[in-house]
Amino acid sequence: MPAEIKTEPNEKLLLSIINNYPGEKRYILSIMQDMQKQFNYLPRQGLEMIALHVASPFSQVYSMATFYKAFSLVPKGRINFKVCDGTACHIKGSNVIIDQIYQHLGIKPGETTPDGEFSLETVNCIGACALAPAVLANDRVYPKVTSAGIVEIIKSYGGHADASSK
C-alpha cells in the first residue's frame, strides 16, 4: 500500500525542533506548532522535553497543548479529512458530509479509524467560502462537495470498498 511513511518521534528529531527556539516560555506555542507539523500530533515525550527546555512545569505545557485547537495528543490517520464547518459551509450542508463520512467510515469528528487510515475533524472556516461546502483531505481542497461527492472522495483514497487499493 502506498501509504506515506510517517516520521516516528525520536529524541534526536524532537531536540532538533526544540533547539530552534530560545528556552523562553513564550516560544512554547511555536515549538508545539512545529512538532505538530512534523508528526501530526504532539508526542508526550516531546511535551516533556519542551517543559525542560523552557523551564516550566509540565502542567503548563500540557494545559497549552489541550487548550489550543491546532494540537492533537493522539496520532491522526494517514488521510485526515477536515470538513469545513464555517457558517457558509454549514448552511450549504456540511452536516450532511459529516454524516456521510460516519456512514461510510464509522468515524465522528475527532476520531480515527482503527486501522489508522482515516481521521475526521471539523474546522471553523478555512476562508474558502466561495467553495462551500469545502472538505480538505490532508492539504487538498475539495470544493462544493455534495453528499454523493464525499462518497467518491472517500473511495478515491481507498476507503469503503478496498483499503488496499488507493
Partner 1 sequence: MQAANDLGSKLILVCCGTGCLANGSMEVYQSLKKQLTDSEVTVKTFTKPTGCNGWCEKGPLVKIMPDDITYCQVKASDVPAIVEKTIKNGELLDRLLYRDPQTKKRVKSHHQIDFYKKQHKLALRNIGEIDPASIDDYVARDGYKALAKALQEMTPTGVVEEILAAGLRGRGGGGFPTGIKWRAAAEQAARPKYVICNGDEGDPGAFMDRSIMEGDPHTVVEGMIICAYAIGATRGFIYVRDEYSLAVTNLGIAIDSARRHGYLGNNILGSQLCFDIEIVRGGGAFVCGEETALMASIEGNVGEPRDKYVFPTEKGLWGQPTIINNVETWANVPVIINNGAEQFAALGTAGSKGTKVFSLVGKVVNTGLVEVPMGTTLRDIIFTIGGGIPGGRSFKAVQTGGPSGGCIPESRLDLQVDFDSLLEAGSMMGSGGIIVMDDRTCMVEIARYYVNFLAGESCGKCTPCREGIKALLDTLTAICHGQGREEDLLYLEEISQTMQDASLCALGRTAANPVLSTLRYFKAEYLTHIRDHRCPAGICRELTEFEIDPAACTGCGLCTKNCPVDAISGEKKLAHIIDQNKCIRCGECINHCRFNAVLVR
What DSSP designation does 139 have? T
For residue 132, state whether it binds partner 1 (rule: CB under 8 A). yes
Q: What is the DSSP string of 70-93?
A: T--SSPPPSEEEEEE-SHHHHHTT
For residue 92, state whether it binds partner 1 (rule: CB under 8 A). yes
For residue 99, state whether it binds partner 1 (rule: CB under 8 A). yes
C-alpha cell recorded at residue 41: 500530533
Closer to partner 1 by CB, 102 or 117: give it: 102
Residue 111-130 contact track with partner 1, rule CB under 8 A, x = bound: ------------xxxxxxxx
Strand order in the sheet with 135-137: 118-123, 79-84, 135-137, 140-142
- The type of residue at 111 is E
Phi first, then psi: give them for residue 39, nearest 5 degrees: -110, -5
- In this chain, which of 3, 15, 74, 91 binds partner 1, going by CB under 8 A? 91
Identify residues 35-64 at the interface with partner 1 (CB under 8 A).
54, 63-64
- In this chain, which of 10, 16, 45, 87 binds partner 1, going by CB under 8 A? 87
Closer to partner 1 by CB, 93 or 116: give it: 93
C-beta separation of 49 from 13 below 8 A: no
- The type of residue at 29 is L
- What contacts 89, CB < 8 A, 6 or more positions away? 83, 125, 129, 132, 133, 134
CB of 25 to partner 1, least distance (A): 4
Interface contacts to partner 1, rule CB under 8 A: 24-30, 32-33, 54, 63-64, 67-71, 85-88, 90-93, 96, 99-100, 123-132, 134, 141, 143, 146-148, 151
